Copies of this chain bind each other. A is one copy, B any other.
């Protein structure tokens, strides 16, 4: 009998332990994945692990905006058709991909690489905030607006507030994302904080919906 958390093989147990460190993967799911990999051709498994090691070991970041990139300057920063007067400050690579997918934003980005979170030991010095300030302070800067596009949780709000205070001195417009009911949302199911803010921040009615 294999007791709970006991496996017929130490190698299998080690692999399950490692796989279950992934977010959203429990012990059962990790066992399923480990046995799948065990049953796959060795070259497929090596390709799988090599792709992950390569990503972690050889990843590069754009030296302007800190976005993941295979080149020194990322494809957004290097695109002369983008609006260079606007910089959207986000937490992560994922956020840039989400905003790009909306096809609504034509400016540049700045990826902080996280948010201020004292509980996790992450302070302003661990984020790409100095690099952002250098972009704003550069003599040839074209930046006229900084959009703080961070999450609406405590860490995101704290970071937005901190950034606002550091940026305020540069005479650059600082904006943030509109918050309110989602498009298509029912009032009935909206949380009261969001609904309350949506009333306070009400907008002129327009037949042309954006």
Interface residues of A (CB under 8 A from B): 1-2, 7-12, 14-15, 17-19, 21-24, 29, 31-38, 40, 42, 44-60, 67-70, 74-76, 92-94, 96-97, 100-101, 103
Give 16 CB contacts A-B under 8 Å. A7-B97, A8-B75, A8-B97, A9-B69, A11-B58, A11-B59, A12-B59, A15-B55, A18-B48, A19-B48, A21-B48, A22-B36, A23-B32, A34-B52, A38-B93, A46-B53
Give me 12 other A-B pairs in contact (C-beta within 8 A), A1-B101, A8-B75, A22-B37 excluded: A8-B93, A8-B96, A8-B97, A9-B60, A12-B55, A15-B54, A15-B55, A31-B94, A45-B53, A45-B56, A46-B56, A49-B50
Nearest opposing residue in chain B for A14, CB measure: B51
Contact B52 A18 (CB under 8 A): yes
Per a CB cutoff under 8 Å, which of B8, B17, B56, B59 touches A51?
Answer: B17
Contact A38 B56 (CB under 8 A): yes
Chain B residues with CB below 8 A from A12, complex form:
55, 59, 68, 93
Report Cα–Cα, A2/B70, bound state, in Å. Answer: 14
With most chain B CB atoms within 10 A of its CB, the pick from A21, A36, A52 is A52
* Dominant secondary structure of chain A at its interface with chain B: helix
Chain B residues with CB below 8 A from A21, complex form:
44, 48
Contact A9 B49 (CB under 8 A): no
Nearest opposing residue in chain B for A55, CB measure: B15
Report Cα–Cα, A21/B47, bound state, in Å. Answer: 11
Chain B residues with CB below 8 A from A31, complex form:
94, 97
Chain B residues with CB below 8 A from A1, complex form:
100-101, 103
Contact A34 B55 (CB under 8 A): yes
Chain B residues with CB below 8 A from A40, complex form:
56
Report Cα–Cα, A97/B29, bound state, in Å. Answer: 14
Nearest opposing residue in chain B for A2, CB measure: B100
Chain B residues with CB below 8 A from A69, complex form:
8-9
| Given the contacts A15-B52, A23-B32, A48-B19, A38 and B68 also touching, CB distance less than 8 Å | yes
